[in-house]
Amino acid sequence: MAAIIDPFALGGPPAKAKIILLGSPDFHSENLMNWVRSLHIEHVSPAGTSRREISRRPGPAEATEAAMIASLRKWFFARKPDAGFILTDFPATLLQAIVFAEWMDARDETLVAVFAAPDASASVVEHYRTLGLLVYDGAALAA
């Protein structure tokens, strides 16, 4: 029987929860995804925010990443500080994780939990494991 995960034990009410889902959401367990949908907080993905910011013409990877970070930065600093969110597909790289941590520090906010799918970047997963925020590691469970 799988352990029951309660990311809100130290994080306050679910309406203010700040959660990251690393890797492809397709790989997260059905129970986890049903739980995520039940929280009634903002679900944010770079795919959704970037569509408004980036033209359809593909560019260099660095320019695409910079545009994605700029788009998410705009979203992050425009939202109410006490509003919860579930962020998927970001951060995808260690650099993005470090940038996101700086944003959180700038607003004196903290994450409640990080869930990682088996395909999540190992360096990003290790970063959040080191910070003590990783509560679900799909790669470790799949092994």
Predicted confidence (pLDDT) at residue 49 exceeds the cutoff of 70:
no
Predicted confidence (pLDDT) at residue 54 exceeds the cutoff of 60:
no
pLDDT in tens, 95-113: 999 999 999 999 999 999 8
Q: What is the largest CA-CA distance in the chain?
A: 48
Domains and CATH numbers, the chain: 16-142 (3.40.50.300)
pTM of the model: 0.73
User: What are the b/e assignments for 63-101, b being 16+ CB within 10 Å?
Assistant: eeeebbbebbeebbeeeeeeebbbbbbbbbeeebbebbe
Instruction: Tell me which DSSP letter residue 51 carries.
Output: T
Cα separation of 4 and 65, whole Å? 36
pLDDT in tens, 65-84: 888 888 899 999 998 878 88
Predicted confidence (pLDDT) at residue 127 exceeds the cutoff of 90:
yes
